Amino acid sequence: MRHLLDSTDLTTQEIEKIVLRALDIIAHPQQYAEACKGKKLATLFYEPSTRTRLSFTAAMMELGGQVLGFSDARSSSVSKGETVADTVRVVSAFADIIAMRHYKEGAPRVASEFSRIPVINAGDGGHSHPTQTMTDLLTIRRELGRFDHLTIGLCGDLKYGRTVHSLIKAMRRYEGVHFVLIAPKELALPDYMKAELGDAYTEVSTLEEAMPVVDVLYMTRVQQERFADKDEYERLKDSFILDERLMELGKPSMIVLHPLPRVNEITVGVDKDPRAAYFRQVENGKYVRKAIIYTLLSDEYMHAEPTGHHGETSSCACHNDRCIATTEPVEQKSYIDADGVKRCFYCDHML
């Protein structure tokens, strides 16, 4: 059985297949109206969400399926101290597929080890958010017609922004893709991700420098909930603000994306610019989640080997305090990446 835990779980051919499926769903919604009839999606959200949870819910409803779950872990047995492992064992008896959002990095991976049904990662801590990435990809395809030979500006919180991390992992596989990183130094992209990019990125300190060269500008919110020091958040939160003046420096063909919610980083004046694609992006989120649910529930995926790297039992413990391995009673596992570095199987941090 296949899960969707990270953008790298999908090959480029599979990404293409899901994008084409989403485009077919957009063109022929009626043909999919009963595609998941009799199936149930469980949404297990341990962290706040509007778009992601509602778009998963709308997606399953439009496929003719039903939805159950919780949007606040305090109202579930989690508040009694239940582990993720036990919760998914229980939920496996009630549903056919799970969408899980968790504040701990690697929680959906732990879930997949105990689940009898496919698990979709709907965002885990600052780690990964593959269905947002598929949303971003469908938007790029619909707006610009291609994934290759693009310059992508990533602006804001590149340290904690899980949508950025997942988008990089997916897009770096296409030819001629270059990233322009725009972030305060305190919120710079983690070194392990920069290492993966090799020479496919440049760092600039202002939006003025980035605007004329980017085809896609991916704005992000400073992730308040991940800061231990609230003063630091206050100091950094308005570091980069996209406004109408800056938009004048951009190419006519560029697009602005944002996973939303926005706080201050894009002024409302930008919304009327046809290049502002973030509300169209939200709509694509529903279509792509329909395509993902449909695909994971298909016979081919229900009987396929899980993808991604395999974890080996490891004697070194993970020191990332946001990692699920530090709280959930799981065996510590590791894998060796392409550069020979030993990493935590759950959160990808170096061991």
Query: Which residues lie near ligand NCD (CB under 6 A)?
Result: 51-52, 123, 129, 132, 162-163, 221, 259-260
- Return the structure tokens found at 77: 């047995």
Rounded to whole angstroms, how far apart are CA atoms 53 and 255? 25
Structure tokens of 256?
A: 């602005």
Strands 342-344 and 333-336: antiparallel
Of 246 and 260, the one with the shorter C-beta distance to ligand NCD is 260
> Facing residues of 154 across strands?
181, 218
> Quick one: 239 exposed, middle or buried, by C-beta within 10 A (0-12, 13-18, 19+)?
middle
3-state secondary structure of 17: helix
| Closest CB to ligand NCD among residues 29, 261 | 261
CB of 217 to ligand NCD, least distance (A): 16
Identity of the residue, 86 or 283, whose beta carbon is nearer to ligand NCD in the bound complex: 283
Residue with smaller CB distance to ligand NCD, 226 or 251: 226
Distances (CA, A) of 97 to 12, 53, 124: 23, 14, 17
How far apart are CB 50 and ligand NCD at their closest, in Å?
Answer: 8
CB of 167 to ligand NCD, least distance (A): 11
Q: Which is nearer to ligand NCD, 207 or 282 (CB)?
A: 282
Q: What residue type is 135 in one-letter code? A: T
Whole-angstrom distance, CA of residue 350 vs CA of residue 95: 35
Residues sharing a CB contact under 8 Å with residue 316, sequence separation 6 or more, in sequence order: 332, 334, 342, 351
If the CB atoms of residues 171 and 351 are measured against ligand NCD, the closer one turns out to be: 171
| Token pair belonging to 196 | 């993966």
Nearest approach in angstroms of CB 127 to ligand NCD is 10
- Respond yes or no on whether the N-terminal peptide bond of residue 108 is cis (omega within 30° of 0): no
Nearest distance, CB of residue 55 and ligand NCD, angstroms: 9
Pick 106 or 259: Cβ nearer ligand NCD: 259
Residue 275 Cβ, how far from ligand NCD at the closest point, in Å?
Answer: 20
Local structure of 223: helix, strand or coil: coil
In the complex, the smallest distance separating the C-beta of residue 170 from ligand NCD, rounded to whole angstroms, is 15
